[in-house]
Amino acid sequence: MDYGLLSVLPAVVAIAIALIYKDVFVALIVSLLLGNIIVADFSIFQGLQGTLTGYISVFGNKSNTTVLIILLMLGGLLSVIDKSGGIEGFINELLKKKGLIKNKKAANLFTWIIGMLVFTSGTLSILIAGAITRPINDALKNAPEKAAFIVHSTSGPVAMLIPLSLYAPFLIGLIEGNGVENGPTILIQSIPFNFYCIAAIFGVLALILSGKDFGPMKKVEAKSSTLVFEEINMPEKSETNDGTGKASYLIVPMILIVVVVIGYMLITGNGNILKGDGYGGMFFAVLSGLLYITAALMKDKVHSFSKIRDIFFKGCGGVLFITAILTLAFSLGSLLKVLGTGSYLSSVFTSMLSPGLLPAILFFTACIISFATGTSAGCIAVMMPIGIPMAVSMGVSIPLVVGAIAGGGIFGDHSSPISDTTVLSCSSTGCGVIEHVKTQLPYTLTFAGISTVLYLLLGFIL
């Protein structure tokens, strides 16, 4: 069924409520109710039933359920590490004894580097980079908004630009599925034309090195003075025997997470990391970290097994709110597919084109769709079947078009308050969702503006 303009209404309502009333939870629930009532031909009772069914169906998707379980487990694991002195010991070792990270700029750069190193998946990058760097950022009184911005900006963009990530087979399939041969070559050729992702990664680095900020982020940063490492207020003493904690309680689990994820993906992909199971790898990676910390704490007689178990489940409870929001976001994404929101928006914005304007308009359209739906993959899946055939028929560079659509998809993934990676970035860094969106949006819009100008220029040159 073609819902036309009504297909956009739930997304618009969700974004409006989130930004105006600063409550993502309410925004998602209202938009889900509205969307399901529209699908049910405005039957309120059937709309309520559809909302419940849609919410429950989230758990029928393996990837969605695995991400939710990983998030709960990671919350529990980090709680065990914290209560066992791991964070205290790590901060003491890295900041006090070694003096490697002495100020907020160094902490920001460290966060950027970790985000760059975890390139197999944007979701995994956020979870790992946020978990590893949060103790440092908290100790140095670094604004959570800045940390969330860096973690978020080195997740999807890095995974999109490196052809060894989970995005690669997805994009290659879309390219070849639309009649273009040699998808891997086209994908590699499109990387230099993915201006948004390039601008996001190196724009963040430039801001870190220059120490310059603008918009709401500047106000946030002004509230927190730069502290050198001698002035760091260490966390309160944890529940260890001597109150000092061990850095290994944090370092070893985090190393295990990275190693197990990569190893599991290589094994399940028969040596090809692109074909491996990244979500399964993250599940077993967090489980490995939990098993290690449990064995280490019992061996060192820091906590009993029952104490570790209690701390773990309490930590799981600490991320229940974020998990609930993420589940609602997953449900809304599925609903918007039923409504055909992406297809409707793409048809509106691509109805009148000239060849030279095609890349810029496809990029702009992808930005709107991804922002409205909160998903990069869904946006790209809608736009590629439209953009690639048009590029072929109009004689426009296919790599340029692929780069424009991929970058536009990442824009909304970064900027939308209903994006799952927005929620994950906030949960891993301790930042509020609305605060993150407000402080990051001026930068993402700047990166998008630069990209649009470049697409306009190259659209007429290539």
User: Per-residue pLDDT for the chain (462 aa), expressed as one digit of tens each?
Assistant: 778 889 888 877 877 776 677 676 787 789 899 999 999 999 999 999 999 998 898 888 777 787 788 778 878 887 888 788 876 676 666 656 555 677 888 889 988 988 887 666 677 678 778 877 887 888 778 889 999 999 999 888 988 888 766 677 667 777 877 677 777 788 889 999 999 999 999 999 999 999 888 888 988 887 765 444 333 333 444 444 444 578 788 788 878 887 888 888 889 888 877 677 777 887 898 899 999 999 999 998 888 999 999 999 998 887 787 678 768 877 877 887 788 876 776 677 666 667 788 899 889 988 988 888 787 877 787 677 677 877 887 788 999 999 999 999 999 888 888 888 898 888 888 888 889 999 999 999 999 999 999 999 998 887
d(CA 402, CA 388) in angstroms, rounded, equals 7
pTM beyond 0.85, yes or no: no
Show the tokens assigned to 101. 């990270």
Show the tokens assigned to 165. 């990530």
**Closest to 200 measured CA to CA, from 349, 412, 19:** 412
Sequence length of the chain is 462
- 222 CB-near residues (< 8 Å, 6+ apart): none
d(CA 151, CA 34) in angstroms, rounded, equals 33
Show the tokens assigned to 15. 């974004």
Show the tokens assigned to 283. 């599940």
Q: How do the domains of the chain map onto residue ranges?
A: 62-320, 322-461
